Each structure stands twice: as C-alpha cells, then as structure tokens.
Amino acid sequence: MSELVPAVAAANYQSLAASHQQCIACGDPQMNPLTLGLRFSTTPASSVVADCRITAAWQGYSGIMHGGVISTLLDAAMTHCLFHHGVKALTAELNVKFVRPVAVGLQLRVSAALVKQRRAVFWLNAELADSSAIYATAAAKFVTVAEI
C-alpha cells in the first residue's frame, strides 16, 4: 500500500469541484435547479463535511428519506474528499449500510475520509449522522479514469 495522496491547495480543490457544476448532489443551482445543494468543506484531518437539512423532496416513504438519496449524499462526500486530495475518479463499488430511518426535517452532516490507496484505486468511508446518532455509513472504491 502506498502513502495516501496529500491534501491539495484550496484553488486546486475548487478547480476539481467546478467539474461538478451540474451534479445532482453538489451542483450549481443555476446549472442544475434540481441539485441537492451540498457545499463541502475540509477538516484539519483531510476529510470533508457538508451539513444538510432533510426535506420532503428527498423522501421515499412518507416522512422518511429515500435510500437512494442517502446513497447519493454519501457518494458525493467521498467524491469531494478525493477532490480535496487532488484526485478525480469514478465510483467503482459502493456499499451502504442503513443504520436507522432518516426522518424528514432532520439537520444532518455527511462526512467522508480517504482510508487507503493503491496506484489509481482509492478506498473511502463516509457517514451520515448528527451529534447523537449515525444514520448510514458507506465504504467505496473509486478508480481514476483518464477520460473524465
């Protein structure tokens, strides 16, 4: 296993994040009016976080957040964590564990961290939580692709 890629300067992160202006999770509302509006920030531990309020537009069953949207939030956090490390990659595998139902109206934080890399393959973990509970976790493998 090689050393983890170091975090990059904020300008480089912004350049990579700009490639997602139409993203359903973190896009610019002027480019994609359906975006979930996530805005990520980096932590001193080289992970990323974004706060979000769960709205009725994100529900599956009445009053409960849709599992596909949960998966999207977790995947987006891991993508932004890679951006923070100067990496542009695609999700190759995503394993989500739904710990408890997410009620509409909750204020939650999605976070992600890079845990391992080998050449052009990156493993990350992510979590959707508040200060008192974890609602979902994810483990994923990302791969760099020259064409993106």
- Residue 49: strand pairing partners: 41, 111
| Confidence (pLDDT) at 72 | 94
* Strand (E) or helix (H) holding 83: helix 67-84
Question: Alpha-carbon distance 2 to 135, whole Å?
Answer: 32
What would the pLDDT profile of 14-73 be if each residue is shown by its tens digit?
Answer: 777 777 777 777 777 788 788 778 888 888 888 899 999 999 999 999 999 999 999 999
Which domains are delineated in the chain? 10-144 (3.10.129.10)
Q: What strands, in cross-sheet order, belong to the sheet with 121-129?
A: 41-42, 48-53, 107-118, 121-129, 134-144, 89-98
Report residue 118: phi and psi, to 5°: -145, 110
Rg of the Cα atoms in the chain? 15
What would the pLDDT profile of 113-130 be if each residue is shown by its tens digit?
Answer: 999 999 999 999 999 999
